[in-house]
Structures are given as C-alpha cells and as structure tokens.
Structure 1
Amino acid sequence: MNEQWPILLAGDHFVRNDILEDRLRREVPRQHELDIRTMTLPWPLVPFGKVGEVDEASDVEESLTELVGDAQIVVTQMAPFTTRVLDAATALKLIVCTRGGPVNVNVEAATERGVLVCNTAGRNAVAAAEHAVTLMLSTLRAIPRIHNGVAAGQWRSDLYAYDECGSELSGSTVGLIGYGAIGRRVARILQAFDATVIVSDPFVDPADLPPGVELVDLPALLSRSDVVTLHSRLTPETANMINRETLGAMRPGSYLVNTARGGLVDYEALADALETGQVAGAGLDVFPAEPLPEGWPLLSSDRVVMTPHLAGATRQTAHRAADLAAAAVAAFVEDRELPGVVNPKAGRTG
C-alpha cells in the first residue's frame, strides 16, 4: 500500500509552487503518494517583514493558520512559522525552508513541538557571488554614473584622465570577510581576474583554503585590501562590524561591497568615510532599512552603486532551491539522513 503524505507548498512569485511541485514529483519515489495543496505568498510583489516573533516573512499568518491543517510537510521560503501557526499545525513533522537561514521560522518553538526544520544553504551562492563581483566592477569603474551621463547626452572623454579613471581587479588585493558557500565562489572568480585574495573568518581552517587564498585576521585584511567584500552572517558578534573604527582602519581610497546583510555596516559611518575619501566607493545590495527611506544620505552619492537586495535573484536560484527542498523531502519520507537540518534534536533525522 502506498504511503500518503499531506504536503503544503507555500511558494511565492520567485520560488514558485509549480517549480516546487515538479521537483517533488520527480525526486520523491513513486511509492510515496503526495497529497499536495498550495498557497501562493505575495513576495516579492509585497515586501517581507517581521511577522509575530519571526522575521523576513510574508504577512499571511492568519491564512496560513487556516490552511496548514493536517499537512505533515511544508515547503516554503517566506511563510511565517510563528508559535501561533505551529500550534495550529498539529500534524506537522517537517518544514523545508528554501533559503539559507530559516529566519521566518521560530526554530525553538518548532523543536519543542518535534517539528524538524531544514534549510537549503548554498541555493543562491552562484547568483550572490556573481552579483558581488558585478558590484565590485561597477563600483571600481563607476559604471552606473557613467551610463547615466551617456544616456543624458554627455560624452565624458575627460574621464580618461588619470585622476578620473577607475581601477582594475587584476593586481588588486580583495579581502573577503566570511568564507562560506558564497565567499568561496567569490574567491574563485576573483582568482580568475588575477586578484590577490585574502580571507578573514574565525571558523575557517587554513588547511581548507585553496592555493593562493590566505587566511588573515580582520585588522590585516582591512589594512591590506583594495576592496573589502562582506559575506558574513548577521549575528550579535558581527552587527556593525564595519563601523567608524574599522572603516578608519581600511586602506585609504579602498572600496566596500556588501551583499550579505545591512546590519553588518554602520551606514552613517560609511557615508562619512565616503565624504572624506577614506572609502573611494561602495557597492551595496543590502541596507539597514528596506525599502530605503526618502532622503537617506547615500541615495545622492555618486560614489555608491546600489541594487535592491537582488543578489540572489536568478531563475537558477529558484530551481536550485526547489531541487534542494525536494531532496530533503525525499530523504524524510524515505527515512534517510536529512540534509540541511537545523534542529536535529526535534526528532528523527535519518
């Protein structure tokens, strides 16, 4: 007799339900009958935010509480699994969160209720790494400002002057703060540009670094780097790690790139460092408040290249997230070792 698994797919307009269902039906062996229901969350057409005690979630707590019903497995990127929702999900055994960190899930409450939580770490590593390097190149060569000038009818051949022209990645020293899946890929790309790559990460063993990548402490990284790029998680220890003191310790005229989390940087201090020239330019994808408020100081700076938290936004990321989620569901129903589990104390993990 086939075993039936009630599953709720709470996809959105990026990691879509049709992609999730297609991957699940391919990955899960046929002897397991999937009873799939879906709800489509409004993200990214409607920004995420704090919902109850969780963060970076779509504000659908009420409808999710009504729909979760007898689902034993939920796959989602943005659904808010608050205590309230978990209390309604009496049959729930597994939440697969299609993102690197399940900040939209109250993991402690899930653990107390015996609900396993998995993430899909690395699903956006390629996209985020390529975007970080794109911001480096755009910032070093002031591409947006120059493009806007040409589009406005200007032909600034004077930008060829030595004091006006940009810099190259080749021959530059680029310091990576954080060396996880994204940082490792950034390092590989930079080596192809003939850049010197140095890394600061307290969790990295020097023996695990590839040839040509050097592990250093943070002060050494700041003083040696022409470009500093952030790839750390936001924790109480890393919050505002780029502040007036660390910006002052950077090589004068260097560049800063942040595609990680806005809370890693004191942006008021960065604005001052850009004004004085201590920092020559910045490429930013993440910010202290999203969306940005009117009149935010860096909006008017011609030394800043900004994108609206889109580093991971590629179609391949959505498909990769679905692949990883389907692999987790298949492992769970097959009673195999569960990949990406963040709370193994909640119950069986294989």
Structure 2
Amino acid sequence: MTIRVLAAGDHFVQNRLFIDAIRREVPGDVEIRELTLPWPVVPFGRVGEVDEASDVEDELIEALRGVEVCVTQMAPLTKRVLDACPELKLFCVSRGGPVNANLDAASEAGVAVTFAPGRNAVATAEHTLAMLLAATRRIPQTHADLAGGVWRGDYYTYDNVGPELEGATAGLIGYGAIGRRVARMLEGFGAEVLVYDPYVEISGQVELAELLERSRFLSLHARATPETIGMIGAPQIAAMPAGSVIVNCARGSLLDYDALCDALDSGHLFGAAMDVFPEEPIPAGSRLLTTPNLVMTPHLAGASKETAMNAATIVAGDVARYVRKEPLKHWANPAALIS
C-alpha cells in the first residue's frame, strides 16, 4: 500500500533533507509531494490559533489533499487545516516543540502530532558559550571599532575588562539536553557550575535565590511555561553580583527585557547576550537597539547543518514507526486515536 507524504520544508530544514531521511528510514512504497515554505526569508508569526508558523494555510490545504502524513518545520496545523484535510493522520513537526500545531484540534480529528526534541542541543549549547564569551570579552564592540578605523586603547582599562570563566561561578536555569552540554563546556573552562531546575532531579542542585547570589555568569535554558514567564526580572538581576553577565538563548518570555536594559544602563551588569526576544523581529525604536554592552543574534542559536539533518532524521523515524504500526517515539498528543 502506498503511503502519501507531504514534505513541507523550508529554507533551513529543506525538502531534500526530509526526502532523503524518509527514503532511508521508511519501509515500503512512499509517494512524496513537496511544498516549500518561505521561512526564514519570511519571518514566522501567529497563524489562526497557532504560534510561530508560516502563513500558508491555503497552500498547505491544497498540498495535503489525499495525503496521510506531513513532515514539516513551520507549516500551521490549525483547525481550519484539519477540517479541510480529513485524510491526514500524522503531522510531524521537526522542532523541539510543536508550537505550530493545535494539539487539541488534532486529537479530536484523530491526527497524531510528533516533534523532534534535542535536534538543536549541540548547536544551541555552542552558540550559548560563544555569546557568553563575546559579551564578556567585548568582541562585537571592539571589532566594530577596528572596522571603523578606531583603535580603542581604553578597552584595556581595569573598569572596561571583563571577568574570566576559570574560577568563576556560572549559574544555569534549566538542565535539559542543552543545559547539560553548556555545563560540561563551562566546567571545561574551569568554572564552577550551579544548576536550578525544579523539573529534574540531580545532586547538588541549588535554589534559585542562591544561584543568583553566587553566579557571575547566568545562562537561561528553561522552557517557556506559565510558571517561567518573566522569571528573571529586576529583583533577580539585582540579586546577582555587580559586573555579572546574562545570556539567553532559550525563550524571550523568561526575561524582563526592560529590567535587563536598566541593569546594563546602570552598569550593574557588565554585559548581556541575547538570541531570543519578547517580539521578533525586534521592533524599530526598541531599547534593545541602543542599550550598551548588549550582544544580539537573530534567534540563530539552534542553526547548524547538523540541526537541520537531525530534525529530518528524527521525524522520519516516527514516520517509519507509523508505517510499521509501532508506537510513536515523540508523540505530542497520545490522546489522538489514529484510525
């Protein structure tokens, strides 16, 4: 029996990666259609009732006609799409979380949704460390000055130089696949690593208040949940030692960015490095664009060739399990009853 699959890739997790992985992993006869989404050339946004998706409902509905399985990164699985595509049974999101899928509506429609946890753990951990070093050693600012023909000897003054990692205390909020890798890297630099994560059990974990009071470096790795929104605000930043550095390569909702800017303006923070923001793209006129000693990248921490290949391979594995009628490995809505 032929399984009809739609590869709805984009310019990062490309269709050729999905197709190669499916051909490699999936047994039997597979017919694969293609739809290329515009991300990241066109930013994602809210589509219908789902977040962080490409606005392609009409094109997706047309491409899904007669299709049983969809593999994608940014396609919107909305109630409108589900109502229009009754033959769809499996929707595989090649991301760490299926935020672009309406899980309740998918469950009611009998559509299983899977995702790809850990796909970008190595890339994000490496980017986190690069951002921490860039902020601490003023790398973007000094490069910009030199590129502009200015040799700034004052960067060598005591008040303008940053702390070393060796012998320093670094605090991690969140200790999943990314946090664990960042911890190993920091320990390799000779830092003492403190961890706060109420969702994991590890020896030596400390309370958040202690972590903040002791940490010269703070890196955020928690998931965005109702409990973590704004968890680092003005009181938490004020509790950190003067001259500290904060890095956020997780989610913009974890941090109060106005409080961050205040602490950078006052000099309480030596520096900060952000890959995620409360609004993306950053709007014109935002304080973030003029606050000193702030290093920024446009939500690129998880971007590597290996991440894209991992994403395709992980979802292809669940497509293969579906075809073999085995339990799905990364099932986001096990309440869905697949007929």
Question: TM-score scaled by structure 2?
Answer: 0.97
Q: Which runs of 5+ in 1 are unaligned?
A: 208-213
Kept in 2: contact 1:149–1:155 (CA 8 A): yes
Aligned partner of 1:17 in structure 2 is 15
* Aligned counterparts of 2:138 and 2:111: Cα–Cα separation in 1: 49
In structure 1, what is the equivalent of residue 144 of structure 2? Answer: 148
User: Residues of 2 paired with 1:249 and 1:339: CA distance?
Assistant: 41
- 1:87 paired with 2:83, answer yes
Kept in 1: contact 2:125–2:182 (CA 8 A): yes
| d(CA) in 1 for partners of 2:234, 2:332 | 35
Counterpart amino acid of residue 29 in structure 2: E
Deviation at 1:143, TM superposition (A): 0.4
In the alignment, is residue 248 of structure 1 matched against residue 238 of structure 2? yes
SS in 2 for 1:339: coil
Deviating 4+ runs (over 3 angstroms): none
**Would you say the 8 A contact 1:111–1:345 is kept in 2?**
yes
Partner of 1:340: 330
The Cα shift of 1:168 comes to: 1.5
- Displacement of 1:348 after TM fit? 5.7
C-alpha distance in structure 1 between counterparts of 2:241 and 2:125, whole Å: 23
Cα distance in structure 2, aligned partners of 1:174 and 1:204: 19
Q: Which has the higher contact order (CA 8 A, sep 6+)?
A: 2
How far is the alpha carbon of 1:332 from its aligned partner?
1.1
Deviation (angstroms), 1:265: 1.1
Further displaced range: 180-189 or 78-87 = 180-189
Q: Take 2:277 and 2:133, find their aligned partners in 1: how far apart are those partners?
A: 20
Conservation of the 8 A alpha-carbon contact between 1:119 and 1:341: yes
In the TM superposition, what is the alpha-carbon distance from 1:92 to its structure 2 partner? Answer: 1.2
Give the SS at the match of 1:146: helix
Match of 1:236 in 2: 226
User: Which residue in the other structure is 2:198 paired with?
Assistant: 202
> 1:171, 1:324 → 2: CA distance?
38
Structure 2, unaligned runs of 5 or more = none
Which residue of 2 is the match for residue 138 of structure 1?
134
Letter in 1 for 2:311: A
Q: 1-side partners of 2:183 and 2:66: how far apart? A: 45
Tell me, what secondary structure is at the counterpart of 2:160?
coil
d(CA) in 1 for partners of 2:157, 2:52: 45
For 2:326 and 2:177, the matched residues in 1 are separated by 24
**Residue 107 of structure 2: which of 111, 118, 121 is its match?**
111
**1:157 aligns to 2:147 (yes or no):** no
Deviation at residue 62 of structure 1 after TM alignment = 1.2
Asked whether 1:34 is paired with 2:24, we answer no
Give the deviation of 1:320 after TM superposition. 0.7
How far apart in 1 are the matches of 2:175 and 2:124?
13
- 1:178 corresponds, among 174, 179, 183, to 174
Q: Distance in 2 between matches of 1:24 and 1:76?
A: 12
Counterparts of 2:284 and 2:101, CA distance in 1: 31
Aligned to 1:49: 45
Q: Deviations for 1:267-319, whole angstroms, at most 9, x for unmatched residues?
A: 11111111122222110001111111112112122310000110011111100
Query: Which is worse superposed, 188-197 or 340-349?
Result: 340-349
Aligned partners of 2:91, 2:238: CA distance in 1, in Å?
44
| Aligned length, in residue pairs | 339
Aligned to 1:58: 54
> How many angstroms does 1:224 deviate by?
0.8
Matches within 5 A, 1:264-343: 264-343=254-333
Q: Within 1, Cα distance between the matches of 2:309 and 2:196?
A: 31
Q: Distance in 2 between matches of 1:272 and 1:160?
A: 25
Choose the corresponding residue for 1:120, options 102, 116, 122: 116
- Measured against aligned partners, the alpha-carbon deviations of 1:237-284 in whole angstroms (never above 9, x if no partner) come to 111111112112222221110011111111111111111222221100
Task: Give the share of equivalent positions with the same residue, in percent.
Answer: 53
Confirm or deny that 1:99 pairs with 2:89. no
State the TM-score, normalizing by the size of structure 1. 0.94
What residue number does 1:211 align with? Answer: none
Per mean C-alpha deviation after superposition, the further-off stretch among 270-279 and 15-24 is 270-279
In 2, distance between residues paired with 1:261 and 1:11? 23
Partner of 2:186: 190
Q: Secondary structure at the match of 2:126?
A: helix
Give the CA deviation at 1:104: 0.3
* Residue of structure 2 equivalent to 1:210: none
Q: Please give the alpha-carbon distance, in whole angstroms, between the structure 1 residues aligned to 2:43 and 2:157.
A: 43
